[in-house]
Amino acid sequence: MLERLNQVLDDLEARLDQEADVAEAAQVAGVSEYHFRRLFSALAGMPLPVYLRRRKMTLAAAEVVAGERTLLDVAVRYGYGSGEAFARAFRSVHGIGPSEARLTGALLTAQPRVSFRVVVEGSAAMRYRIVEKEAFRVVGRKARVPLVHEGDNAAAGAHLESLDARTIVRMKKLADGEPEGVLSAAVYLTDSREEGAEADYWIGVVTGPETADDELDALDVPAGTWAVFDNDGPYPTALQELWRDVFAQWFPSNPYTSRPGPELLLTKPVELGEETHSQLWIPVERSGAHVAV
């Protein structure tokens, strides 16, 4: 898997002057476009379009500073139809426009090439099981929160604290299915997994697909396959490391890819740094299930 991903990155690097065909890149990698975008974002820490734009502007900056081409020629070389569009992209990466970059001593930003490799440093076995689950519904309350890769997510914590005891009791009475109990569900709004990217964050319970409650929101989840990971460790560090390891280690080593759907987390709330047991549910499909024969 990692070898194919690196080959795709080499191909994209060689064609930075063209519009990236992400669907074709995913096909070469042997996974769905959805999984390819998610996997890249999780491993690289940024969405693929952001990475490609930064790489383009890194190479373009060298040509701008060299002064051998006009700014319009550089813009066209990297796929921009106008000097204005090029200047906007250039400024988004470097913080200054291309004309300013030609001044002696201008401070620029370089995006190194990304490559993926397995690094083994005291790795432990990952406990997981594969579950086939019929369609269900998550009934509860949702809020829009930013992603936080390390440490406490204040917005998610505030959402949990906003639920009164009556609402929690109401949810628990509706619970009917695995995972059992009050859980959280994250629905990502884009393929980005950058720090600060937004997601719809649910606190609720799993119920039957027809269950409804006028006072609670409902999230319908279609039937599908789930990879369920058990985890023990300090909250929330162990969970954040587990999520990272699922994408960095488990997916590249197993015949599954991610598919659209919410990520479910069942955990016992504790004080920061205290030990807790958790379950992380990731929607998956067998590798190759999306490929036409």
Closest CA to 51 of 65, 68, 37, 34: 37
Is residue 83 domain-shared with residue 196, that is, in the same domain? no
Q: What is the DSSP string of 80-92?
A: -SSHHHHHHHHHH
Query: In terms of residue numbers, what domain contains 33?
Result: 2-101
Is residue 88 domain-shared with residue 134, that is, in the same domain? no
What was the pLDDT predicted at 120? 52
Is residue 163 domain-shared with residue 46, that is, in the same domain? no
Q: Is 83 among the domain residues?
A: yes
**What is the domain-level CATH number for residue 32?**
1.10.10.60
Tokens of 232: 């023990």
Query: How far is the C-alpha of 234 from the C-alpha of 219, rounded, in Å?
Result: 29
Tokens of 251: 């997916």
- Measured CA angle at 291 (ends 290, 292), to 5 deg: 115
Domain count, the chain: 2
Is residue 154 domain-shared with residue 235, that is, in the same domain? yes
Is residue 18 domain-shared with residue 153, that is, in the same domain? no
Which backbone phi and psi does 257 adopt, to 5 degrees? Answer: -130, 160
What was the pLDDT predicted at 89? 93
What was the pLDDT predicted at 121? 47
What was the pLDDT predicted at 241? 84
Q: Is 126 helix (H, G, I), strand (E, B) or coil?
A: coil
Closest CA to 261 of 35, 74, 6, 48: 35
Is residue 22 domain-shared with residue 84, that is, in the same domain? yes
**What is the domain-level CATH number for residue 193?**
3.20.80.10
Closest CA to 118 of 282, 26, 252: 252
Is residue 136 domain-shared with residue 240, that is, in the same domain? yes
Q: Is 189 among the domain residues?
A: yes
The set of long-range contacts for 118-123, using a CB threshold of 8 Å and a minimum separation of 24, is: 118/2, 118/249, 118/252, 123/249
Q: Bridge-partner residues for 131, per DSSP?
A: 226
Domain stops at, among 101, 116, 140: 101
Is residue 145 domain-shared with residue 75, that is, in the same domain? no
Domain stops at, among 84, 101, 118: 101
What was the pLDDT predicted at 289? 45
Is residue 178 domain-shared with residue 225, that is, in the same domain? yes
Is residue 165 domain-shared with residue 232, that is, in the same domain? yes
What was the pLDDT predicted at 284? 95
Q: Is 121 among the domain residues?
A: no
What was the pLDDT predicted at 38? 85
What was the pLDDT predicted at 291? 39
Closest CA to 36 of 8, 62, 76: 8
Q: What is the pLDDT along the chain (293 residues), one digit of tens a residue?
A: 678 888 999 999 999 988 899 999 999 888 889 899 888 888 887 889 889 999 999 999 999 998 899 999 999 999 898 999 999 999 999 999 999 998 877 889 999 998 877 655 445 567 899 999 999 999 999 999 887 766 677 888 888 889 999 999 999 999 998 999 999 998 887 766 666 778 899 999 999 999 988 889 999 999 999 999 988 888 888 888 888 888 878 888 788 999 999 999 998 777 777 888 889 999 999 886 443 32
Domain stops at, among 56, 86, 101: 101
Is residue 139 domain-shared with residue 86, that is, in the same domain? no
Q: Is 292 among the domain residues?
A: no
Q: Is 119 among the domain residues?
A: no
Is residue 142 domain-shared with residue 268, that is, in the same domain? yes
Report the 10 Å Cβ neighbour count for 162: 11
